[in-house]
Structure formats: C-alpha cells, structure tokens
C-alpha cells in the first residue's frame, strides 16, 4: 500500500508493506497530472518487499519520464533499496540521494541542509 501527498512542487510517497504494481500505477497517475518538474520524497522505511512486476514498471517509467523530477530523496535503512535508488539514476536526470533520517531528507529537499551534511 502507498500513500501520496501532492504539494505545489513536491510529491511525498510512503510505502507500507509490499510495494506492488497496483501501488506503482497509483503513483504514476499522480505524476501524470503534474505540469512541471517536482521534487519527490519517498519513505520506504515501512516497505517489506516489492513485486517483480513493480520493479520492471519502475524501470519502464523512469526511462519514459527522465525529466519529471528535480530531486528525489529516498528514506530507507535497507542497503538493497539504497543500491536500487542509485541504479535508478541511470535513467533519470534527477539528483537522487538516500537518507537514514527524515529530517536530513527534508532539509536537503528544502535546500536548508548544513554545509557539513
């Protein structure tokens, strides 16, 4: 299951449980309504897996929409998810960063992170 919250220049997505193709299609519908490039905050701390068809759709979508996002903050403590976020940069023209702390991710997206961060 996912929840989405769309703001003027940002989409917040939280994944709970297994990330399925139906969930990703819901996310795609939100993105398709956008009229400009936005930032994306993806909270994957409560994700406990994903389906193969969702992963393939994510790759297809990223290849078809490389310029839809300016910055993507991925919140996770899972190394596999961190690696897959890094891999997605191959298809996207966005700055993708992985965070362990929600406040750090929020600060980066807001442009208020400290220089030492």
Q: CATH classification of 2-110, choosing from 3.40.50.180, 3.30.200.20, 3.10.20.600, 3.40.50.10600?
A: 3.40.50.10600
Q: What does pTM read for this prediction?
A: 0.88
Q: What is the pLDDT of residue 117?
A: 46
- In 3D space, the residue among 4, 22, 20 whose CA is nearest the CA of residue 12 turns out to be 4
Domain-by-domain residue ranges, the chain?
2-110
φ, ψ of residue 62 to 5 degrees: the values are: -60, -40
The answer to whether 77 and 45 have CB atoms below 8 angstroms apart is: yes
| Percent of the chain at pLDDT exceeding 90 | 68
Q: What is the pLDDT of residues 39-59, one digit of tens each?
A: 999 999 999 989 999 989 988
Q: What is the pLDDT of residue 78?
A: 80
Of 1-10, 28-37, 108-117, least confident by mean pLDDT is 108-117
Over residues 60-83, mean pLDDT: 86
């Amino acid at each position: 299951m996912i929840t989405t919250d769309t703001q003027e220049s940002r989409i917040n997505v939280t994944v709970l449980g297994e990330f399925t193709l139906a969930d990703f299609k819901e996310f795609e519908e939100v993105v398709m309504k956008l009229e400009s490039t936005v930032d994306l905050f993806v909270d994957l701390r409560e994700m406990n897996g994903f389906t193969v068809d969702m992963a393939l759709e994510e790759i297809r979508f990223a290849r078809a929409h490389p310029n839809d996002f300016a910055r993507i903050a991925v919140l996770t403590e899972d190394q596999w998810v961190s690696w897959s976020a890094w891999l997605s940069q191959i298809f996207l023209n966005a700055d993708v960063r992985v965070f362990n702390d929600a406040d750090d991710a929020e600060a980066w997206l807001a442009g208020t992170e400290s220089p030492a961060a």
